A and B are shown apart, each in its own frame.
Chain A
Amino acid sequence: MVDLRYFAWLRERIGTSHEQMNTDAETVADLVEELKARDDVYAQVFSDPAGIRVAVDQELVEFDAPLKNTREVAFFPPMTGG
């Protein structure tokens, strides 16, 4: 079971900030494919991965990062702090 978190426009488009998912995905990219296959909203949100950042257990990673023993995966746009 993985906790999924969404922020900013991804949260608004998906319609939730948080959900749980049963998955055997080995990498973030695999997980994204699983989400896209769910329905059109996810397919649209993840249609341009270049505009999305991902954190695994609160560490920024690339989409090829492994998901072994992962508890939390967060998707969000490039940060605009400061």
Chain B
Amino acid sequence: MRIRVQAAPFDPGAELTAFSRTAKGAGAIISFTGITRDLPGASLRHMLVEHYPGMTEKTLNRIATLALKRWSLKRVLILHRYGRMAPGDPIMMVATAAKHRAEAFQAAGFLMDYMKSRAPFWKKEVSEAGETWVKAREEDETALNRWQA
């Protein structure tokens, strides 16, 4: 399991290649990359991502550990940036490697759903119109429920 929280940009392709090399015995690899979405009219200047150092790493470790217990995974990667993102910049990435695709897909969905509403990150959009904290979405909270059965 690999957890990385960093300000530096990353290259999702290079990360996936490196991840695949270390996922010995895997028959399926799933990766998800979150991208900084622009605002209507391409008006986003940048996005600021704030986090809670310490709690972030602890939470991501716990989420990854839960996934490793629940599915038979060969390897898990969680990478999340903080700081300033330009529109189109990758913000975060998860990758899962398993023997078969069903487990890899499910584990990746689980990791994403938990990251969305349990990992202590906050996003702020900075545009011509001003600065706005991104609001949490109700759907993200309900998405968690499907894993709690």
Residue A25, interface by CB 8 Å: no
Complex: how many Å from CA A8 to CA B122?
Answer: 6
In the complex, the answer to whether A82 meets B120 with C-beta atoms within 8 Å is no
- Interface centre among A5, A76, A77, A79, by most chain B C-beta atoms within 10 angstroms, is A79
* Shortest CB distance B133–A (Å): 5
- The SS class assigned to the B binding surface is mixed
B20 within 8 A of A: no
B55 and A77 within 8 A (CB): no
Chain B residues positioned under 8 Å from A4 (CB to CB): none
The number of chain A residues touching the other chain, given as a range, is 10 to 19
Stretch from B38-46, B66-74, B97-105, B109-117 that touches the partner:
B109-117
Interface residue A43 (Cβ < 8 Å from any Cβ of B): no
Give residues of chain A (1-47) contacting chain B, Cβ–Cβ below 8 Å: 5, 7-9, 11
Q: Is B54 an interface residue (CB 8 A)?
A: yes
Best-buried of B122, B133, B136, B140 by chain A (most CB within 10 Å):
B122
Residues of A at under 8 Å CB distance from B? 5, 7-9, 11, 55, 58, 60, 74, 76-82
Query: Closest approach, in angstroms, between the C-beta of B97 and any C-beta of chain A?
Result: 20
B120 proximity list for chain A (CB < 8 A):
7, 55, 74, 76, 79, 81
Contact A81 B133 (CB under 8 A): no
Asked whether, in the complex, the Cβ of A81 is within 8 Å of the Cβ of B92, the reply is yes
Known contacts A79-B120, A81-B80; is-contact A55 B55 (Cβ 8 Å)? yes
A-B contact pairs, 16 of them (CB 8 A): A8-B122, A9-B133, A55-B55, A58-B54, A60-B118, A74-B120, A76-B52, A76-B120, A78-B117, A79-B118, A79-B120, A80-B136, A81-B120, A82-B91, A82-B116, A82-B140
